[in-house]
Amino acid sequence: MTTPAMSLQHLVKVFGNTVAVGDLSLDIPQGSFFGMVGPNGAGKTTSLSMATGLLIPDRGTAYVDGIDVWKNPSDAKQILGVMPDGMRVFDRMSGPDYLTYVGMLRGLPKDVARKRTAELLEVLDLTDVGKKIIADYSAGMAKKTALGAALVHGPRVVVLDEPFESVDPVSAGNIRQILQAFVNNGGTVVLSSHVMDTVEKLCDHVAVINQGHVIAAGTTAEVAGDMTLDERFAELVGGRHLEGGLSWLGN
């Protein structure tokens, strides 16, 4: 059997009294376009943070291409491109400087990092940002910059937390195309999203997370079965509460 692009084994994270992730195991096949879906607070961000070296697990292990993320973080980070939820650092830099800087941090020569930055800004429709610092970008511009930073060093596995949130439809289309091309070239994409329609159209594999556990995983067709993914998701996690409620709304 080929080594999974990413393997999460018995991950656990507890915050105070909250078990954010409880014994979560998941294999993500090489070359897959993998969607992680789950209701708010299900543990997606916490799992992906532990999987990518951003948050220390209380227990369990994460492997990327067979490399232990926590034992060999620098090797794992060469393979991984990560777009975390929210822009956490370096927002006093301009987007172009930031992308070049991240490329160099990941070992690219300056001229290569600059060339890739220019190409990424072009496809992400960010060529006219000038010297404006990232802190002054719109949410969508910052998200696209973060995506560029995840891709600039040419990773084999890209992990994206909510890549389409706050992004305009044209940019979302560009991002989808970039990610699809990446997968067509043999890369693996792991993304979390609340937009079931997007996940169903884009992802060939999906995992449904609820209360810190994987409750269904497989190909998107297997998980959805004879329903739409949205219907299957509602069946698995419940949570449609409107019947008879909020009758005052709009009256």
Ligand X SMILES: Nc1ncnc2c1ncn2[C@@H]1O[C@H](COP(=O)(O)OP(=O)(O)OP(=O)(O)O)[C@@H](O)[C@H]1O
The answer to whether residue 86 forms part of the interface with ligand X (CB under 6 A) is no
β-sheet with 18-28: strand ranges across: 18-28, 6-15, 59-64, 67-68
Interface characters, 5-24, with ligand X (x: CB under 6 A): ----------x--x-x----
Contact 188, 157 (CB under 8 A): yes
The answer to whether residue 44 forms part of the interface with ligand X (CB under 6 A) is yes
Stretch that binds ligand X, among 34-42, 105-113, 131-139, 218-226 (CB under 6 A): 34-42
Min separation Cβ 20 and ligand X, Å: 3
196-221 burial code (b ≥16 CB/10 A, e <16): bebbbebbebbbbbbebbbebbeebe
Tokens representing residue 92 in the block:
């006093």
Tokens representing residue 45 in the block:
């961000």
Place of tokens 């830099």: 93
Q: Which residues are bridge partners to 61 per DSSP?
A: 9
| Identified binder of ligand X from the candidate list 42, 93, 160, 208, rule CB under 6 A | 42
Kindly state the number of chain residues that form the binding site for ligand X, as judged by CB under 6 A.
Answer: 11
Min separation Cβ 42 and ligand X, Å: 4
Tokens representing residue 210 in the block:
């609820």
Q: Which is nearer to ligand X, 84 or 187 (CB)?
A: 84
The answer to whether residue 189 forms part of the interface with ligand X (CB under 6 A) is no
The answer to whether residue 118 forms part of the interface with ligand X (CB under 6 A) is no
Q: Which residues are bridge partners to 208 per DSSP?
A: 37, 216
Q: Which residues are bridge partners to 36 per DSSP?
A: 192, 207
Min separation Cβ 161 and ligand X, Å: 7
| Identified binder of ligand X from the candidate list 40, 185, 247, 251, rule CB under 6 A | 40
Report the distance separating Cα 43 and Cα 164, nearest Å: 19
The answer to whether residue 145 forms part of the interface with ligand X (CB under 6 A) is no
Min separation Cβ 27 and ligand X, Å: 19
Q: Which is nearer to ligand X, 16 or 130 (CB)?
A: 16
Q: Which of 164, 34, 238, 194 is nearest to 8 (CA)?
A: 34
| Identified binder of ligand X from the candidate list 24, 26, 33, 46, rule CB under 6 A | 46
Q: Which is nearer to ligand X, 44 or 232 (CB)?
A: 44
The answer to whether residue 41 forms part of the interface with ligand X (CB under 6 A) is yes
Min separation Cβ 26 and ligand X, Å: 14
Contact 215, 207 (CB under 8 A): no
Contact 5, 156 (CB under 8 A): yes
Binding site for ligand X (CB under 6 A): 15, 18, 20, 38, 40-46
